[in-house]
């Protein structure tokens, strides 16, 4: 059974120092339409920070995506494993991200819930390389780069590497 509920009740977690762990499996999200049918599995840990903030950590997230190779256009499956990813959820609607690279989410005060769908989507998005190679093309590409390093040194290798990507 798969489900699309990414809402988690935080209950009284904001009122006292506490940690809560949730294991999830078979999560499906419309944000990632190319998810394979193993869907998403992983662990979520919620930790009290203070009476307005909760730290949400994702651990051992796994899923497989159906991809198309940017080089040979063949379909292939890309397995994703994320050891750890985290974000802060806050009640404070006025808060501006104080660290430039911090992504902040909000706690729904009325229902005392958080929705981790966007967080999971972001974690998976970060694993997406600029160019998607199927295993065969990735291997070929690796060999090519190694040869070029031996022949002409690092600077030229980088330049040619980019040429290979864009001249299909």
With contacts defined by CB under 5 A, name the span among 7-15, 46-54, 66-74, 93-101 that binds Zn ion. Answer: 66-74
Q: Does 65 bind Zn ion (CB under 5 A)?
A: no
74 vs 67: CA distance, rounded Å: 8
The binder of Zn ion chosen from 24, 48, 71, 89 (CB under 5 A): 71
CB of 25 to Zn ion, least distance (A): 30
CB of 168 to Zn ion, least distance (A): 11
- Helix, strand, or coil here: 64? strand
Q: Binding mask 116-135 vs Zn ion (x if CB under 5 A, - otherwise)?
A: ------------------x-
Q: Is the dihedral of CA 105, 110, 15, 25 positive or negative?
A: negative
45 vs 87: CA distance, rounded Å: 11
CB of 140 to Zn ion, least distance (A): 8
134 vs 156: CA distance, rounded Å: 25
Work out the number of other CB atoms within 10 angstroms of the CB of residue 102.
Answer: 9
Q: Does 72 bind Zn ion (CB under 5 A)?
A: yes
45 vs 131: CA distance, rounded Å: 32
Q: Does 137 bind Zn ion (CB under 5 A)?
A: yes
Interaction site with Zn ion (CB under 5 A): 69, 71-72, 134, 137
């Amino acid at each position: 059974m798969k489900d699309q509920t990414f809402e988690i009740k935080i209950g009284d977690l904001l009122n006292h120092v506490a940690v809560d762990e949730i294991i999830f499996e078979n999560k499906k999200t419309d944000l990632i339409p190319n998810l394979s049918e193993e869907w998403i599995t992983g662990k979520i840990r919620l930790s009290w920070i203070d009476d307005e903030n909760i730290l949400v950590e994702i651990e051992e997230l796994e899923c497989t995506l159906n991809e198309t190779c940017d080089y040979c256009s063949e379909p292939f499956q890309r397995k994703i494993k994320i050891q750890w990813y985290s974000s802060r959820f806050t009640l404070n609607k006025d808060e501006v991200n104080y660290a430039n690279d911090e992504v902040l989410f909000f706690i729904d005060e009325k229902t005392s819930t958080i929705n981790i769908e966007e967080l999971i989507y972001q974690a998976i998005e970060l694993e997406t390389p600029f160019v998607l190679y199927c295993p065969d093309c990735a291997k070929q590409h690796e060999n090519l780069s190694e040869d070029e390093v031996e022949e002409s040194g690092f600077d030229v290798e980088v330049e040619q590497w980019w040429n290979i990507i864009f001249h299909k």
